[in-house]
Amino acid sequence: MTDNQKLAIIIASEEYEKSHVASMIASVAAVSGVNVSVFVTMNAVYNYLKENVEKKNFTGGKIYRQIKEKKAAMFYELFDQAKMLGGLKIYVCSMVMDILGIEKDDLIDIVDDNLGLAAFLGIMEGAETITF
């Protein structure tokens, strides 16, 4: 893969499994040399709040329960590993942050910044896009 390949992942659902599969795809892509940008918006923002991560307070189904029970790597751990090994940036929607009254300090450390949708659209120009 070439350095100019880009992948944009948009996560809008708070279902745990959607953040998890996004983290798996992002990890493999980033390690393979693809520049990955993740945009977390709408209800998905709840999964990136420090307080919810600390309590593992997620909405999920059978797979989430199995991941938690077997103490497998959580989505935020997979994202963190990918950030160390490849080109991965995670952004949270500034509009949703405003609506929820949250600050960047309320978000887990893997989040690089908050952005508006227009700014993210600029980043993802020319990128393959996946939405969850």
Q: How far is residue 35's CA from residue 3's CA, in Å, rounded to a whole number?
A: 7
The pTM of the full predicted model, rounded to 2 decimals, is 0.94
CATH number, domain 6-131, options 3.40.1260.10, 3.30.470.10, 3.40.50.10800, 1.20.1290.10: 3.40.1260.10
Q: How far is residue 75's CA from residue 78's CA, in Å, rounded to a whole number?
A: 5
Neighbours of 62 (CB within 10 A): 8
Of 88, 96, 98, nearest in space to 123 by CA: 88
Q: How far is residue 104's CA from residue 85's CA, in Å, rounded to a whole number?
A: 24
Q: Per residue of the chain (132 residues), give pLDDT as tens.
A: 455 899 999 999 999 999 999 999 999 999 999 999 999 999 999 999 999 999 999 999 999 999 999 999 999 999 999 999 888 999 999 999 999 999 999 999 999 999 999 999 999 999 999 999
**In this predicted structure, what is the pLDDT of residue 86?**
81
Domains of the chain, residue spans: 6-131
CA distances from 8 to 74, 105, 130 (A): 21, 24, 6
**In this predicted structure, what is the pLDDT of residue 112?**
97
**Greatest pairwise CA separation for the chain in angstroms:** 40
